[in-house]
Amino acid sequence: MRGWELVRWLGLFIALVVLALWLAHGGHVFTKDKQMVVYREHDPIFGTSRERVEWKPSFRLGLDIAGPVAAVGLGVWLLGRWIRRRKA
């Protein structure tokens, strides 16, 4: 494989992987660095329940990062395709 051919397919691969990872993380618009965890505590004596919320650190990729990375990958793929057609 020539240099541009490898770069072209690498750009497409990166774009597809980033978009798949974005969908696997929930398809959110913004990147999230914490996740809300709700604990429910039940009091057996009085029969009441109470909710306690904690925020745990976890990375959720959002479209604000995945979009530009995928766009650059697709741009590299299109540039490589244009160069290949121009030489032919």
CA pair distance 88, 85, nearest whole angstrom: 5
Single out the residue of 64, 61, 69, 65 nearest to residue 11, CA to CA: 69
Per residue in 34-86, pLDDT tens? 999 999 999 888 889 999 999 999 999 999 999 999 999 999 999 988 988 88
Neighbours of 80 (CB within 10 A): 21
CA pair distance 44, 27, nearest whole angstrom: 40
Question: Taking 90 as the threshold, does the pLDDT of residue 1 lie above it?
Answer: no
Give the predicted TM-score (pTM) of the model: 0.75
Residue spans of the domains in the chain: they are 3-87
Q: Report the Cα 47 to chain-centroid distance in Å.
A: 43
Q: Average pLDDT of 10-34?
A: 94
